[in-house]
Amino acid sequence: MKRQKKKFVPNRSSTPTHDLPEVFRKKIETLGGTKVNLVIEKTLYKSDLVQGENRLSMPFKQIRSKFLEDDEVRRLANYETLTVPLIDTMLQEREICLSRWSLHTSKWYVLKTQWYKKIVLNNGLRKGDLIQVWSFRDKVNNLHLALVLVERKGEDI
């Protein structure tokens, strides 16, 4: 009998995370935010910052919490795009598009459309920066996201 190879599933809690900064907590509170969850903490790569790519990739394997409602998961699986309010690193409210991409066995959520011009340039994001994406729900349960700059490459924020 052939033994099946066990699939490696990373322990998401083993990687240390940083808390949501107080200024973001207060901003989220002013919007009536609830169900605050860390979606991903990642280092920005060149591909996240290229104007022609215009997207932030969030691989499924790195997602830390269930942040989508079942109907949102279904819509994204059907190749719909969700327009979502985003609080950027400067605490400015913007809109961003959330999509799901698949290639072979790899799957990602991506933030796109306004990513490069409105987020990367306005927030001065650079390769090597450590960022977090947080999710929360407003009073009527609409999804919102917050982008936190945790650490500049080589600098503490």
| CATH number of the domain that residue 152 is part of | 2.40.330.10
Answer whether residue 9 is part of any domain: no
40: burial class by Cβ within 10 Å (0-12, 13-18, 19+)?
Answer: buried
The mean-pLDDT minimum among 92-96, 105-109, 141-145 falls in 105-109
Q: Give how far Cα 31 sits from Cα of 21, 85, 131, 137, 146, Å.
A: 16, 11, 22, 9, 12
- The count of domains in the chain is 1
The answer to whether residue 90 sits within a structural domain is yes
Q: What is the mean pLDDT of residues 101-118?
A: 91
Going by the DSSP 8-state scheme, the letter that residue 13 receives in this structure is: G
User: For position 11, what pLDDT does the model report?
Assistant: 39
Residue 78 located in a structural domain: yes
pTM for the model: 0.86
Domain assignment present for 76: yes
Q: What is the pLDDT of residue 75?
A: 97
pLDDT value of position 120: 95
For residue 14, pLDDT beyond 50 = no
Residue 6 lies in a domain: no
Q: 1 lies in a domain?
A: no
In angstroms, the Cα distances linking 82 to 15, 56, 89 are: 29, 15, 21
What is the domain extent for residue 142? 33-156
Residue with tokens 């072979």: 104
Q: How confident is the model at residue 156 (pLDDT cuts 50, 70, 90)?
A: low
**19 domain-assigned:** no
pLDDT tens readout for residues 59-102 = 999 999 999 999 999 999 999 999 999 999 999 999 999 999 98
| Distance, CA of 77 to CA of 35 (rounded, Å) | 23
**Average pLDDT over every residue of 6-24:** 63
Higher pLDDT pick, 40 / 15: 40
Tell whether 63 is covered by a domain: yes
Position with higher pLDDT, 128 vs 157: 128
